[in-house]
Structure 1
Amino acid sequence: MQGKLPKRNEVEKELTWRLEDIYENEDKWEAEVNEALQISERIAKYNGKLSENAKNLLDALKLYEKADLLSSRFYGYAHMRHDEDTANSKYNGMNQRAISVNVHIGEKASFIEPEILAISDELLSSFYKEEPELKKYENRIREIRRLKYHILSKELEQLIASTGEMGRTPYNGFNMLSDADLKFPTVKDKDGNDVILSNGRFVPVQMSKDRELRKKAFEAFYGRYEEFKNTWAALYDGEVKTRIFNSKARKYNSNFEAAVDENNVDPAVCDRLIDSIHNGFDKMHRYVALRKKLLGVDELHMYDVYVSMINDFDMEVSYDEAKELSLKALAPLGDEYLRIVKEAYENRWIDVVENEGKRSGAYSSGAYGVHPYMLLNYNNTLEDVFTLVHEMGHSIHTWYSEHEQSLWNADYKIFVAEVASTTNEVLLYHYLKDNAKSKEEKAYIINHFLESFKSTMYRQTMFEEFERKTNEMAEKGQPLTAESLSDVYYNLNKEYFGENMISDPQIAYEWCRIPHFYYNFYVYQYATSFAASVSIAGKILKEGNSAVEEYKSFLKSGCTQDPVSLLKIAGVDLTTAAPIEDALKVFDEAISEMEELFK
């Protein structure tokens, strides 16, 4: 955590992803961008002709799918190159161009959905008989027609499509300010050494045993965000207003209703989550009290949230060690699953370490027909091991889905996107706990699980409440200012953490740094997925191969059913509160297990 970050060209090659698997040279990138533009012109020639005969509909969809395939490649390549070093003007330009071309394709193809909606059920049925190849697109067509009430005329759909690039401005502005322009101060540790802060290094610093360093870093880090609070508020306000425009245009009652309907999820699923979490505040507050006790502090502050409750034990895990641990922990998923994991390690699917200008955080991305990629900012902590298996879960979900499904059928909904990643995390937790070599190591692992549970089930639900409250404020005409946003966030923080936590004033500005607030109600799905994953991992460890096969069937299913039905394949029913409540019981049991270790 000390010293300067390496420049991109100073990072060891084996620790970088091999994007040449997409394009061996960038002339091919340029060629596919131009090919996609040409295809978009061919698509436009079918405007007004889709209902004339089955062949027109089939040909238009095949062209649109081809354009989407090219887009997954040229956009995937450009955005990952951009994320390697967000200050690199060449790749920033390529990324912006890729986005512009996608918007252009969307405009040219914007007639397709309204025309598909205008086809009668009887005519569509005859089209399937006339051109059996149309069955390949049946799922896509069904999804379009499900949203019939919210699809507009061809002219208005074209207008909406043309706003796509403009609508990304708040998120793009957030990324550039957060990753490229925002510079953090240097703070001193207890020995007087300089510690350089960054988005990627903040949490590892907050995990330090040096409490004074944590305090100084916390105040300096959020102090820098506070300096730009009005800019963050303007960006977030722009994001919410973009949603309001789109949800009103599509005749939804609220931004939230529009977001969950796009995923084909009943809003009651999210309502049940929030209600269940509120009913489980006693468990969260019990955890906070345990943290205060084990840390031995008179006052528990927000800069005490990430440090291990086990003061006399620590785990530093190199990247090579993390890879070995992942293979052992994921062994219950079978040889085929492990083979794919090994391929990811051996063939440079992963960009491992932080460098100057690199995008913060972690993700799984890629291009259809190539293989998934993972971005990490690995810092040798136990948390980084969990992040590795988390992103690996995303990637292998994508691998299975893309190997079993066509491009459009492989594109699983966001609602199920966090299940595979979190299942991997739960399996890693059980492996590490069961193989702990001492009481201290076992306690350290349980501590991590408790922290992960708190961060996922409680924190993400708190994020969801913040997003819902602030969107509702804007929908009622209330201004989203730095002060109003910070007040909402601060009060939620106090409610979730309870009386044993001092909610330091700087925490009011945490909302400024959360990129997921620009993902249009993404975050609640972390919590529902975590609950589903606790259940799935438990079944795999208890039932073995039969549960693994059910789980792999889910991974291979893409978006061929609605998300809640897909989870039922893996044995999880989110039409009830049971998965959330069962997960809360596991959290409570882990707290009891920790208390027992330190009686």
Structure 2
Amino acid sequence: MKNLFFNVFKVFCTTMIFFSTVLFTQNLSAQRDRNDIDPKYKWDLTHLYPSDEAWKISLENQMPKVDELVSYRGKLSTNAKTLFTFLEKQSNLYKEMSRLYSYASMKADEDTGNAFYQGMNQEISQKFSIAGSKMSFVSPELAAIPKETIDKFMKQQPKLKTYAQFFDNLYRQQKYILSDKEERIIAEAGKLKQAPYNIYNIFSNAEMPFPTITLSTGEKLYLDQAAYTKHRSNENAADRALVFREFWKSFENYKSTFAQQLYANINADVFTKNARGYNSCLESSISANNIPVEVYHSLIANINKNLPTFHRYLNIKKRLLGVDTLKYSDTYASGVKGVEMMFDYEKGKDLVVNATKPLGESYYSVVARAFDEGWVDMYPSKGKRSGAYSNGSAYDVHPYVLMNYNDDFDGVTTLAHEFGHAMHSYLSNKNQAFANADYSIFVAEVASTVNERLLAKLILEETTEKNARLSLLMDILDGFRTTLFRQTQFAEFELKIHEAVENGQPLTADVLNAMYKDILYRYYGHNEGICNIEDLYAVEWAYIPHFYYNFYVYQYATSFTASVALGQDILNGTPGATDKYLKFLSSGSSKYPIDLLKETGVDMTSEVPFVKAMEAMNYYMDEVEKLLGK
């Protein structure tokens, strides 16, 4: 276990990145100047700090507090009062520094070309790193206190029970905590671990050369990542194939560079696993949330067992596209032409509010007023960060939501998704002490995906035209492909490459291509003639940033299956389902994530949530086939 302070900051930053990267494509029409956008469509960051000067003053006031906390070194076991005072001061420090980071990062996201705010963002990141290094003594010193002593302290000082979950987790992982000196070394080494991803990010997004292609319309297109994201769903099959082939050639040309970066990243994971004495990199990664490794393995096994269901979806896609052979380059294409569902701001807002009404007035009324109280930054503008995210780390204020809304179906779905995150943060912050308010990444996507399901149900109920319903149903099914099957495909590959390095096998580009190709062929039924995949596409692993995040992506799939089960119970009016769900959203990290989900009736250690997800997928496919006529 890394030292507490530095680890929490790393998790916070990584979560923010993933909400944007995994779920949403880049916006390509951000041409308006931010000053020309009505303030009612922009978030109000003065709720955090009234000015940049106020932010700077607060930042300067925090570092002496770090030194004050360091003065407690060697004293944490003195008595209950000393321990409680230290933990409260540490909690208050992190609470304020999280607020500082939120302000700086969101100001920087308003205009990524603004050097002043980028500098502020870097400054607070550096302060977090310094604080983490100085406080590396905390975990070893706390772990050295006998559990019996902590139990006695909690009786003497009942307010210490706020930290009961923290101590339970600490003692559970006690054997993996190293000495003060060793923890400091690992904290410093953590900075080095960021290098492979940073190199990947800069090279693939800024310096890597991409080709210029000519589409069937005569349009010349510089095929960088943003253009690939947009044009991989081109209506013209030949254009789609061209986009795929030329884009992946670019990665094939640099596959050895990407292989070395990824190999270095995995070696860093192996270093941490070996230093702490875990049995595997997988165990090292997921043990912090007390997730049994069996959950990971079970997900992969269940997906592979249900590949025929996925192949049924691919055959429906083939039928809708009207092609003789479904190609991998066809998988992002819409099978329903001529349907353009538009939702302006007011319509989108009303849909999200109305979709969440099954969760009760205490939920949807907060969503409704959030639009009027400066929570949301709605529209794209010059220099604004692409994608979308929710930031709920300002404990004493309210969550914020960044959008790049384009008045379309994806936009309103993204809005519902991000408000799932926002309301999870809002309810956890409202009902938990700061120490227990930050929910686990393992459950982070549950609330967002439940909201998507509620929205889909509402829009389907309001849509009667055949092609529009087909389009909506296929959008829902595409979500099963991209979130459940594709993320598990990534998880299986990530497990295999870690196991290879753990066993001393080098990861050359050719080895990685072969591993990825084997999984890709199996998932998409290449050998059975379900979907044809060119050998070139085996280099897709080089494009995926999530392989640098150490067993993160499986949680998208597990959250998805949990949300299907929860959404069904809520929409079916199962007695107590809504109350249990709201309690779950209000629980933060007061219990382990597996236990919190069990209290809602969802047991992620069993196959039941997965079975329900497959039942739902088959239901939607049945509906599509009814419309098409079997």
Change (3 A) 1:3 1:212: farther
Give yes or no for contact 1:326–1:428 (8 Å, CA) kept in 2.
yes
Q: CA deviation at 1:154?
A: 1.4
Letter in 2 for 1:576: S
Q: CA deviation at 1:544?
A: 6.3
Give yes or no for contact 2:95–2:434 (8 Å, CA) kept in 1.
yes
Give yes or no for contact 2:27–2:404 (8 Å, CA) kept in 1.
no
User: Which residue, out of 502, 520, 538, partners 1:493?
Assistant: 520
Change (3 A) 1:121 1:238: same
Q: CA deviation at 1:265?
A: 0.7
Change (3 A) 1:471 1:265: same
Give yes or no for contact 1:302–1:501 (8 Å, CA) kept in 2.
yes
1:511 maps onto 2:541 in alignment? yes
1:521 maps onto 2:548 in alignment? no
CA distance in 2, matches of 1:142, 1:317: 48
Following superposition of structure 1 onto structure 2, how do residues 57-456 of structure 1 map, counting pairs within 5 Å? 57-181=83-207, 188-193=214-219, 199-200=225-226, 202-354=228-380, 358-366=384-392, 367-456=394-483
Following superposition of structure 1 onto structure 2, how do residues 583-594 of structure 1 map, counting pairs within 5 Å? 583-594=613-624
**Which has the larger displacement, 404-413 or 363-372?**
363-372
CA distance in 1, matches of 2:466, 2:574: 28
Letter in 2 for 1:34: E
Q: CA deviation at 1:580?
A: 0.6
Q: CA deviation at 1:415?
A: 0.9
Give yes or no for contact 1:243–1:255 (8 Å, CA) kept in 2.
yes
Give yes or no for contact 2:34–2:381 (8 Å, CA) kept in 1.
no
1:582 maps onto 2:609 in alignment? no
CA deviations over 1:93-142 (Å, ceiling 9, x no partner): 33332222112111222212112211122322221232222222222222
CA deviations over 1:312-349 (Å, ceiling 9, x no partner): 43324444432222222222112221222223322343
Q: CA deviation at 1:476?
A: 2.0
The unaligned stretches of length 5 or more in structure 2 are 1-25
Q: CA deviation at 1:505?
A: 4.1
CA deviations over 1:199-228 (Å, ceiling 9, x no partner): 456444333323344333333443444444
**Which has the larger displacement, 252-261 or 426-435?**
426-435
CA distance in 2, matches of 1:160, 1:484: 30
Give yes or no for contact 1:8–1:84 (8 Å, CA) kept in 2.
no
Give yes or no for contact 2:524–2:531 (8 Å, CA) kept in 1.
yes
Q: CA deviation at 1:567?
A: 0.6
2:7 corresponding residue in structure 1 = none
2:31 corresponding residue in structure 1 = 6
Q: CA deviation at 1:60?
A: 1.6
Give yes or no for contact 1:100–1:165 (8 Å, CA) kept in 2.
no
1:560 corresponding residue in structure 2 = 590
The alignment partner of 1:240 has SS state of helix
Q: CA deviation at 1:547?
A: 1.9
CA distance in 2, matches of 1:224, 1:16: 38
Change (3 A) 1:516 1:181: same
CA distance in 2, matches of 1:197, 1:357: 20
Give yes or no for contact 1:299–1:502 (8 Å, CA) kept in 2.
yes
CA deviations over 1:370-398 (Å, ceiling 9, x no partner): 22222334444423322221111111101
CA distance in 2, matches of 1:360, 1:132: 46
CA distance in 2, matches of 1:458, 1:490: 15
Change (3 A) 1:23 1:217: farther
CA distance in 2, matches of 1:226, 1:13: 45
The unaligned stretches of length 5 or more in structure 1 are none
**Which has the larger displacement, 406-415 or 309-318?**
309-318
Q: How much is the aligned-residue C-alpha RMSD, in angstroms?
A: 2.6
User: Which residue, out of 64, 75, 81, partners 1:38?
Assistant: 64
Q: CA deviation at 1:233?
A: 3.0
The alignment partner of 1:501 has SS state of coil
1:474 corresponding residue in structure 2 = 501
The alignment partner of 2:74 has SS state of coil
The alignment partner of 2:401 has SS state of strand
Q: CA deviation at 1:405?
A: 0.8
CA distance in 1, matches of 2:122, 2:191: 9
The alignment partner of 1:374 has SS state of strand
Q: TM-score with structure 2 length normalisation?
A: 0.88
Q: CA deviation at 1:9?
A: 4.5
Change (3 A) 1:199 1:398: farther
Q: CA deviation at 1:554?
A: 0.5
Total equivalences in the alignment: 599
Change (3 A) 1:407 1:481: farther
Q: CA deviation at 1:486?
A: 3.0
